[in-house]
Amino acid sequence: MPQRRSRVNEFVQYFSSLKCGLFLLGLLGLSVILGTLILQRPMAREGQIEQIYAPQTIRLLNALGLFDVFHSWWFILLLGLLGVNITLASLERFPQVWRYFARPHLVADEWFVRQLPFKREVPLGSTPPEEALPLAARQVRALGYRPKPESLARNTLYIEKHRFARLAPYLVHASLLLIFAGAIFDGMYGYRGFISLSPGQASDQLESLSPNAPPRKLPFTLQCEGAGMDVYPDGSPRQYWSILTIQESGHEVLRKKIFVNDPLTYKGIRFFQSSYGSTGNPKKLTFEASAAGHTQVFDLGPEDAVKLDKQGTKVELGDFVPDFILNGNQISSRSGDPNNPAVRLDVSTSGGRPTSVWIFPKAPQLNPPNPTGIDFQLRHVEMEYFTGLQVAKQPGQGLIWAGCLMLTASLMVALYMSHIRVWGVLGRDKRGKPVLLLGGQPSKYRESFERRFNALADALDESFRASTAPKVELERISA
C-alpha cells in the first residue's frame, strides 16, 4: 500500500511539474500549427478539400481528425490535461504566495533588516530616537508611500506597493483555464455548418462540416428574402450580401441584411455571409421564335409552357446546360454560370408528337437539324442565384473572451509591476550612534528598485538633517 501511494505521489508530482507542462504545451502548439497548415472543414468551401488533397490523404487526415482539429477529441483531451497540469502546479505553489499576500511581515528587528538585499543606515543626527520613526513616516507619506500604522505602533516603519502583483502569475493561470474551458465547451457542444438558400427559400436544417455527420436541425426557420453582389466600377466583386429573416411559429422575429464581416446572431447561432453564385438553374429564358415570316418573343421558365400560334404549338424547357462542354458524345457543364449555354426545347404541335430542339447560341454550327421549321434564338438568360452561409454555434466564446481580457490584464501586472517592501527600524552603527536601519526587497526588477530605494533613503537623510538645523543655529546664538 505505501509503495502504491508513493507511485501515485510520484505521478502527481510529475504531472504538476514544469517539465510535463512544457511537454503538453508543445503538443498543443504542434496541434495548432497542424490546424493552421491543414485546410479545416469549417473554413473550406464546398468541394475545396477534395480539389486540394488526394483521396488517400483525405482518408488519413479524416481518421486522425486533422480536418477539424479544434473540435477533435484528442485536442479537447490535450486542453484538459494542460488545464489539470496548471491547476496542480498552482495549488502546489499557491499557499506560500498567499501567505505573502494575506499576512505580510509588518514587524521587523535590526537583525532582519541587515539580512535584506538592499539596506542603508540613515543617521539621525540630533533627532531624538523616539521622534525618528514618526518623522520618517511623515516624509515617506509626502513621497507618495503609505506607511502601515499598525507597524509604527510596534516600532517598525513598513511600506509596500503592488502587493497584488504576487498573485499575477496565478491570475494568468486562471485566465488560461478560462480560455481552455471555453475551448473545451466549444469543442463538445459547439458546431459549424453550411446552409445554401436561394431568394424566397427557407430551411431549418444545415449541413454539418464534420465528415459523415448528419444534417443538424435549427431551433427556428431561416429564410432568405434576397441576395446579391455589389461590384466595383470595373465589374469585379466588391462584397456579397443577403437579407435574412428568422421565423418562429410562423412569425418573423428578426430581419437583417448581412455582409461578409457583419453576421446575423440569434440564440447563440451566427450566420456568416460566405459565398454567392449561380445555382446552375435558369430562372427565366427569353427566346425569339421565327416561322413563315412571323416573329414572336416569349419568356420561358423551368415549369412554363408557352403557346406560339393559333394551331396550338407548345414549347417547354426540356434541359439547360449553363456552361456546356463536350466529353465525347456527352454534354456536361464546366460551371454554374451561363458562359456558354446549351438549351433543349420540347416543341409539340396539335396532334403531333413532341420534338426536341437543341440550341447552342455561341456555337450555332453544333445545332442539330430542326424538323419543326421554327427558328429559335436565345436572347437573354436570367439565372437563379444562391447565398452560401456559414453557421457557427460557439457557446464557449464568452469564457474565451473573458479569459483573454483577464490574461491581458494579469500579464500587464506580472510584467510591469513589482511587489516592493521596505522596513525601517531604529538601530546603531559601528560607532554606536543611533541610526534608522532601512532595508528593502523587491519581487523583481532589482535595478529599478535600487534607484527608488536609494532615493527614499536620501530623502529621509535630508529630512533628518533639516530637522536638526534649527537646533544648531540656536546653539550658535546662545554661545
pLDDT for 308 equals: 82
The three three-digit cell numbers of residue 373, written as one number: 421549321
C-beta atoms surrounding 469 within 10 Å = 11
Helix, strand, or coil here: 132? helix
| Cell numbers found for residue 356 | 426536341
* 421, burial (CB in 10 Å: exposed 0-12, middle 13-18, buried 19+): buried
Question: Quick check: 230 and 238 in contact, CB under 8 A?
Answer: yes
Amino acid at 434: P
* CA-based nearest residue to 337, from 382, 372, 404: 382
The yes-or-no answer to whether 108-162+418-478 and 186-279+387-406 have a common fold is no
Rounded CA-CA distance 106/155 in Å is 10
Enter the pTM of the model. 0.70
**CB-based burial, 216-245: b 16+ in 10 Å, e otherwise:** bebeebbbbbebeeeeeeeeeeeebbbbbb
**Calpha distance 298→276 (Å, rounded):** 29
Burial zone of 183 (CB within 10 Å; 0-12 exposed, 13-18 middle, 19+ buried): buried
DSSP assignment of 28-93, as one string? HHHHHHHHHHSPPGGGSPTTHHHHHS-HHHHHHHHHHTTTSGGGSHHHHHHHHHHHHHHHHHHHHH
Q: In this structure, which amino acid lies at residue 59?
A: R
> What confidence score (pLDDT) does residue 419 get?
92
CATH topology of domain 108-162+418-478: TATA-Binding Protein (3.30.310)
3-state helix, strand, coil in the chain (%, to 5): 40, 35, 25
Q: Residue-wise pLDDT tens for the chain (479 aa)?
A: 555 657 777 877 888 888 888 999 999 999 999 988 988 877 776 677 888 888 888 888 888 888 888 888 899 999 999 999 999 888 888 888 888 788 888 999 999 999 999 999 999 988 888 899 999 999 999 988 999 999 999 999 999 999 999 999 999 999 999 999 999 998 888 888 889 999 999 999 998 776 667 888 999 999 999 998 888 888 788 889 999 999 998 899 999 999 988 999 999 999 999 888 888 889 999 999 888 778 889 999 888 888 887 667 889 999 999 998 877 777 788 888 888 999 999 998 776 678 889 999 988 888 888 888 888 999 999 999 999 998 999 899 999 999 999 999 999 999 999 999 999 999 998 888 999 999 999 999 999 999 999 999 999 999 888 865 444 333 333 33
Going from N- to C-terminal start, the domains of the chain cover 2-100, 108-162+418-478, 186-279+387-406, 283-382
Q: Is 371 helix (H, G, I), strand (E, B) or coil?
A: coil
Class of domain 186-279+387-406: mainly beta
